[in-house]
Each structure stands twice: as C-alpha cells, then as structure tokens.
Structure 1
Amino acid sequence: MAIPQSASAQTAFTLPAPPFEVPMLPSPSGNWTVMVGIGGEYTPDFVGSKNGKFLPIPIFSIRRAGSIDQFRGPRDSASIALLDVGNFRAGPAFKYVSSRKSDKYSELTGLGDVKAAYELGGFVEYYPVDWLRLRTELRQGFGGHSGAVADVSADVIVPLIQRLTISAGPRFTWKSTKATEPYFGVDAAQALASGLPMYDARGGAHSVGVGSQISYRINPQWEVHAYVEYQKLLGDAADSPLVKLRGSSNQTTVGLGASYSFDFRIR
C-alpha cells in the first residue's frame, strides 16, 4: 500500500542508559518518524448537541521509521508505536477532552461545568492484509471524568491514484459509568436548575458509527486530508434527557488537516 520513504534528514539524539531493563520492551534506540500537524473540524458543540462549532485539532504520532504503512485515522489519539513488528503496532496513547461550560450553550443551563479530561492509555493496531487496518484504544480518564473508554475501528484503505488514498470503515465506542455520568447524568440540583428530569446515566455501549477519509501525499514529508465521521449515540447516552429533549443522538464531524513528517535517530 505504501513504499517506505525517509521523511527527512535525520536528527540524532543520545538518551542516557535506563536505570533498569523492562522485559519484552524493545530498545528505543534507532530511527523514528514523527508526524505533527494541525487540522480544523466542524463538530457538535458538545457530545449530544444538535448544533455545531469549528475547532482546531492537533495531530501527533511517533512510529519506527520505515514502517510499511503511514495511515492515520482522524479518530486516532496521539500515540507512540513503541512496539512495531511487521503488521503489528502497540504503544501508549493520549487524548484531550475539552471542558464543557454550561454558560456557553443554552441547552446546558443549570447543568454545571465539566472540567477538561485527560485520557491516558494504549493502542493496538494490526494489518491482516495490506489494505485493512484494525485498531483498538483503551484509555483511562483523569480530570473531567475518571472512567474508562474503549475505541474500536476498522479502515479499508484504497489507493485511487498515485499519492491519493481513500479509506472508510466502522467505529464503536464503549464507556464506563464514570466516563458517561458527568456528561449525560442529571442530579437533583441540576434537575431543579435546568428543568430537566433527574437521570442516572450508566456506562456501556456508547456509540456506533462510520468514518471516511481522503488523503493526498504531496511529498514524503507533507500530507493533506479531509474526512467525515458519523456516530450514533447508544444506551444511556442516547436516552439522556439532555440528548432527547435538547440535543440529538446523531453526531457528525467534518474536518480538514495537514501534517508534516520528519525522521530522528536515538543512539
């Protein structure tokens, strides 16, 4: 699907020797490729909203240089592929979830603010064939929520012409109760202040959807892409009075982005 190419001239870094060795963890020494970029997307005001807003989106990933594929999905968290063997990759992942301010949207009046959340975890992705990527992320939240989140996705990757690639596939998200309640629950005080009925939101299947992306590689360093992602809220998230009475369970995001890749070496 992709011919490995050097992203740029290498920069060398020398890391101090670790105080101890971790079994089964490969050495960080060697060549790495960093992808950084910026995008913008039109996305719902908050999860469950029927209105949208435009947001800037950062792009970041690190992988072993010379990997067979250079595909990145728009839903991928920032990640580092510490383990990169053949068609299999794994490593840490990070996602930032912005705060939800009740005074910014009339639908949230009386529900209070939800602080920004930081989700830390890991990812695993596998290519059973060159044109199919399977990826799973499992993250633990801190801050705005303290629950667990699991994202599962599959992408069929098809080159249309040289440097132009289209991809599409299904998505599924599961969230624990602690990751669902802050955004979809309504306690007694919030019910009194907002006019919404009390609601105890529990975790489980959160959403199912589909996404598609088209990308163009200008040269080995630069790539531009456009995408659309749709998700249907499920379970207690979809049944929340915030969604049923003031929002929508249909969530669509449209985005554009550009990324730059460069190589560096750890000695």
Structure 2
Amino acid sequence: MKHFDEAALDPAARAQQTLLTAFLAAFGAILAIPQSASAQTAFTLPAPPFDVPMLPSPSGNWTVMVGIGGEYTPDFVGSKNGKLMPIPIFSIRRAGSVDQFRGPRDSASIALFDVGNFRAGPAFKYVGSRRSDKYAELTGLGDVKAAYELGGFVEYFPVDWLRLRSELRQGMGGNTGTVADVSADVIVPLIQRLTISAGPRFTWKSTKATAPYFGVDAVQSVASGLPMYDARGGAHSVGFGGQISYRINPQWEVHAYVEYEKLLGDAADSPLVKLRGSSNQTTIGLGASYSFDFRIR
C-alpha cells in the first residue's frame, strides 16, 4: 500500500478517501434514526401460478433484509494492493422465524427451509469482472468476465452461540467451476442489541473456478512476462473473520467487520501471486441493512 504522503497526491486515493468519508457520514446518520420504528408489512404479492414439488409453498409472510456496505478489499484476488467498493446485502426468511445471524461472507440467500436450528435454501454470489487494463500487475493476462455463482446453503445452530454454515455454488460466465465455502462463527451478545462474532473460514474451488484467475497460458506468458502456469483446483484458502453488529431497532442494523484469507495450493503458487501479489488477503468493511415484511397470498 502507498504511504500517506504519496496517497495525498494520488487522485484515485483522494477519491477513495472521499467515498469512505461519505459512507461514514451515512453510517452515522443511520445511527441517529429513532429506535421506536418497527417492521411493518409493506405490500402483498399475488399467489404464484403453481407450487414447485418437494418445496414448501411460498405463500405466507416473509421478511426481506436489504442493505449496502463499503469494503476496503484487495484490487483482485491475489493482489497486494486494495480498493474501496460498495457491497450489496440481501436475504429472505419466513416472517416470525428467529432473526438469525448473518456473516459478511454469506452469499445472497433465501431460507426456504427454516425449522428450529436448521436453515437451507438457494444462494447467489456475483463475482465482478477482472480487467487487465485497470492494474499494471495484470498486463498481458487478458480480461476475465463477471461470474454468476448459483447454488445453495445450509446452516445449523448446534447451540445458540455457534453457527455452522456451508455453501455450494456453480459458476457461469467468467468462471464455470464449483465453489464450496465452509464457516463457523461464535456469537457473543455483549449488551442488548450489540453482538460480536468470530470464527474460521475455508474455501475449496474446482479447476474451472481457479484457472481463469491464476493460470498463465503461452500467449499470456509472452504478453505479461510471467512464466506459464497451469492452475488447478483444490483447497483455495483458509481464514478467520470477526464482526461487530448493532441492532438499532427491528428494522435497522449496522455492522463492521474484518476478514483475513490466506491463499493455498495452486492459487498461492501462481506467478501472479508470488511475483506480483500476495497470498495474504484482508478485507475491512462497514454495512447497514433494513428489514421489511411482505406477504404472498
């Protein structure tokens, strides 16, 4: 990362600082919202034309959580430099079910099955494109298109203070591989409405999910100056994350978090990472979310 005196002369760094200042101002404004607000049923949707076999009927009341966060995250996976970017927040659960914990690494998801301490349903994650003209380290490596990873999640609370979650997703677009995320979080309420959490993370990726970002073919080798490299799948990373969240009222919640990830296997051994980047990846973020109800007839 650049030193402070260099960043002061860099327009991109000044823009990042301005964006961060604006986000913090918005974050403070949210904290000032009166605490007397409560969730209300916002609207009613017509009944679906048919039910999907083997799945619970979608009819009834649902609670939606939407929000946005700001992250300081690596420029690209494997980079040693960082950038500030917005992150969307989205989840749906049955209204009246326990308002379960949500981690910053969770994909957008819908809990179609919500029974006791067990939840499961579809999950979606958007992976932004990687443009070689944006960063000098990627010169000659070509662009990687945006990817859309579709799959599902399961999570289980063996006790009130421990959440276990796993996601399995299949990529389309920039990568066509399979990704599996596993995490555990110890959840500790400090005072009413204020909660801290932390726990380990692990990610596995198939070859088709790894090669587009870490492989170097013959043409790319000549254009970039990096040695050829055949990146294959396997254990992708291990890490640890922590979060602090504050529920202002039944509708609004704010949180801050830090996530550390250590690249493993072929991702860590890629010449892009070894020669131009870093296997240590850290993300720092702030976020705010709003919950509301709707009904399906």
- Tell me if both proteins adopt one fold, taking TM over 0.5 as the criterion: yes
Q: Tell me which interval the TM-score lies in, with the shorter structure as reference length.
A: over 0.9
Helix, strand or coil: the match of 1:14?
A: strand
Task: Please give the per-residue CA displacement for 1:53-78, whole angstroms capped at 9, x wherever unaligned.
Answer: 00100000000112223311000000
When normalised by structure 2's length, the TM-score is: 0.85
User: Matches of 2:37 and 2:166 in 1, distance apart?
Assistant: 26
Helix, strand or coil: the match of 2:36?
A: coil
Runs of 4+ in structure 1 off by over 4 angstroms are: 1-10, 12-21
Change (3 A) 1:261 1:14: closer
Question: Contact between 1:12 and 1:266, CA under 8 Å: does it hold in 2?
Answer: no
User: Matches of 1:128 and 1:261 in 2, distance apart?
Assistant: 26
Q: When you count helix as a share of all residues, which structure comes out higher?
A: 2
Change (3 A) 1:6 1:86: farther
Change (3 A) 1:23 1:5: farther
Change (3 A) 1:137 1:47: same
| Residue of structure 1 in register with 2:65 after alignment | 35
Structure 1 runs not aligned, ≥5 long: none
Deviation at 1:266, TM superposition (A): 1.4
User: Matches of 1:132 and 1:64 in 2, distance apart?
Assistant: 21
| Residue of structure 2 in register with 1:217 after alignment | 247
Please show how residues 180-195 of structure 1 align to structure 2 within 5 Å: 180-195=210-225
Aligned residues between the structures: 267
User: Matches of 1:263 and 1:117 in 2, distance apart?
Assistant: 30
Change (3 A) 1:217 1:112: same
Deviation at 1:168, TM superposition (A): 0.3
Tell me how large the CA RMSD over aligned residues is: 3.1
Aligned sequence identity (%): 91
Helix, strand or coil: the match of 2:180?
A: strand
Question: Contact between 2:199 and 2:242, CA under 8 Å: does it hold in 1?
Answer: yes
Change (3 A) 1:3 1:22: farther
Deviation at 1:233, TM superposition (A): 0.2
| Residue of structure 1 in register with 2:185 after alignment | 155
Question: Contact between 1:4 and 1:68, CA under 8 Å: does it hold in 2?
Answer: no
User: Matches of 2:169 and 2:266 in 1, distance apart?
Assistant: 20
- Choose the corresponding residue for 1:244, options 234, 256, 274: 274
Question: Contact between 2:166 and 2:180, CA under 8 Å: does it hold in 1?
Answer: yes
Question: Contact between 1:42 and 1:255, CA under 8 Å: does it hold in 2?
Answer: yes
Question: Contact between 1:110 and 1:194, CA under 8 Å: does it hold in 2?
Answer: yes
User: Matches of 1:120 and 1:7 in 2, distance apart?
Assistant: 35
Deviation at 1:33, TM superposition (A): 0.6
Q: When you count strand as a share of all residues, which structure comes out higher?
A: 1
